[in-house]
């Protein structure tokens, strides 16, 4: 069965985009050195700042990895010590990016996948001193785990004089992510809880972050250089390089639609959908990967499956329901279901029955 238009896209990014945001893209391209573009960028930045809740928002053309790498390479210098709180795949990638930058990376990991790193342990390590930064992923998309202790860790980091870097790629607008100046940099992307097409990403930064990136002894490559982006935004209202103009049209409209709902109500929508899944799916033999309920993510719910995930995912795909499987060693053991994007509530209400049926045919 062909279900290209009718598929329920439940992967944790990209997600279903509102038709109005799609239509907004079909406008003529403008020069990124024109007044029309400066107005578009100002509009997107102002709306993103409202979603973030604070900080100076820098807009990049590229997927979430670009925002995370730019944050890592613009706020940490070779030789600096960084503590990475890592819960899974994306924590590992963050640590790897910092290592490639030449940082001396130490990681703190939980005793088992799905458990959360003890915030007291992170604070104790930071108290030892000598760290230039602490870095963490707010929502670890591979496990459906949201590190809701991020703010507690950030307070300890502040006292220890360390900057706080947060990968909120799959968290922004779906979780209550602490904004700058509570933390120093928050990286995110267009194709997750903002429900815009993939291809744009952004970092909201604090004054302290702006100061650090302006004084680096060894600046990063130009495309990763947030100080350069900040300079162009500030001095000219533009981006340093050719931006994806049409994606900005779409993002601008996608942000309007979220702001009409209200940021808190938009977060609650993800929370409500996730809660429904966490409540309903265990009776079908699907157990949440995130052990403690308080760390279970709003934007992506991950479950251990009673049958190999390839079979369950294929059985769902035959019903035009697209979910993601686990990552790395959990690939065959886990399914991941997104609550992001412009799908109606009925999708989540009907999903448990659809999974029950799929399990019978898996």
Ligand X SMILES: Cc1ncc(COP(=O)(O)O)c(C=O)c1O
Which stretches of the chain bind ligand X, using CB under 6 A? 13, 63-65, 68, 90, 137, 141, 167, 169-170, 189
Is the Cα torsion angle 284, 145, 49, 53 positive or negative in sign? positive
Closer residue to ligand X in complex, CB, 63/305: 63
Closer residue to ligand X in complex, CB, 74/170: 170
Closer residue to ligand X in complex, CB, 68/84: 68
Closer residue to ligand X in complex, CB, 90/295: 90
Question: In terms of C-beta density within 10 A (0-12 exposed, 13-18 middle, 19 or more buried), how is residue 114 classed?
Answer: buried
Write down the least CB distance from residue 199 to ligand X, Å.
9
Tell which residue, 200, 222, 239, has the closest CA to residue 63: 200
Closer residue to ligand X in complex, CB, 14/180: 14
Residue nearest to ligand X (CB): 64
Question: How far, in Å, CA of 358 to CA of 349, rounded?
Answer: 15
List the structure tokens of 344: 């109606």
Give the chain's length.
362
Closer residue to ligand X in complex, CB, 140/225: 140
Closer residue to ligand X in complex, CB, 289/362: 289
Q: CB count, 10 Å around CB of 212?
A: 22
Write down the least CB distance from residue 284 to ligand X, Å.
25
Question: How far, in Å, CA of 118 to CA of 132, rounded?
Answer: 20
* Whether the bond into 331 is cis, omega within 30 of 0: no
Write down the least CB distance from residue 168 to ligand X, Å.
8
Write down the least CB distance from residue 277 to ligand X, Å.
18
Question: How far, in Å, CA of 203 to CA of 186, rounded?
Answer: 5
Write down the least CB distance from residue 171 to ligand X, Å.
7
Beta strands of 109-218 (E only): which ranges? 133-137, 139-140, 145-146, 163-167, 185-189, 200-205
DSSP one-letter code for 223: G
Tell which residue, 45, 19, 69, 60, has the closest CA to residue 244: 60
Closer residue to ligand X in complex, CB, 11/280: 11
Q: CB count, 10 Å around CB of 181?
A: 16
Question: How far, in Å, CA of 170 to CA of 65, rounded?
Answer: 11
Write down the least CB distance from residue 147 to ligand X, Å.
11
């Amino acid at each position: 069965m062909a279900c290209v238009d009718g598929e329920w896209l439940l992967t944790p990014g990209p997600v279903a985009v509102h038709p109005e945001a799609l239509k907004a893209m079909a406008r003529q391209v403008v020069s990124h050195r024109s007044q029309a573009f400066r107005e578009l960028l100002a509009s997107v930045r102002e709306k993103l700042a409202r979603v973030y809740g604070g900080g100076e928002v820098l807009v990049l053309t590229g997927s979430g990895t670009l925002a995370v790498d730019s944050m890592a390479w613009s706020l940490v210098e070779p030789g600096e010590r960084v503590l990475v709180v890592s819960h899974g795949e994306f924590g590992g990638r963050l640590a790897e990016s910092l290592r490639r930058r030449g940082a001396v990376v130490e990681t703190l990991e939980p005793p088992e996948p799905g458990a959360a790193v003890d915030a007291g342990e992170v604070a104790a390590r930071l108290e030892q001193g000598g760290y230039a930064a602490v870095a963490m992923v707010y929502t670890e998309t591979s496990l459906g785990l949201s590190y809701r202790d991020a703010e507690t860790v950030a307070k300890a980091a502040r006292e220890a004089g360390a900057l706080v870097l947060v990968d909120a790629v799959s968290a922004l607008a779906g979780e209550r992510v602490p904004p700058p100046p509570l933390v120093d940099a928050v990286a995110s992307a267009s194709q997750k809880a903002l429900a815009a097409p993939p291809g744009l990403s952004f970092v909201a930064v604090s004054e302290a972050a702006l100061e650090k990136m302006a004084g680096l002894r060894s600046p990063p490559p130009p495309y990763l250089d947030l100080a350069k982006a900040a300079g162009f935004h500030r001095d000219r209202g533009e981006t340093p390089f050719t931006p994806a103009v049409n994606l900005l049209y779409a993002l601008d409209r996608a942000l309007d639609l979220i702001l009409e709902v209200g940021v808190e109500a938009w977060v609650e929508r993800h929370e409500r959908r996730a809660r429904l899944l966490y409540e309903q799916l265990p009776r079908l033999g699907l157990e949440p990967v995130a052990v403690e309920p308080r760390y279970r993510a709003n934007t992506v719910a991950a479950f251990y499956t009673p049958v190999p995930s390839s079979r369950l995912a294929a059985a769902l795909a035959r019903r035009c329901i697209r979910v993601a499987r686990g990552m790395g060693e959990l690939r065959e053991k886990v399914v991941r279901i997104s609550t992001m994007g412009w799908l109606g509530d009925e999708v989540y209400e009907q999903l448990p029955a659809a999974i029950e049926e799929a399990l019978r045919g898996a």
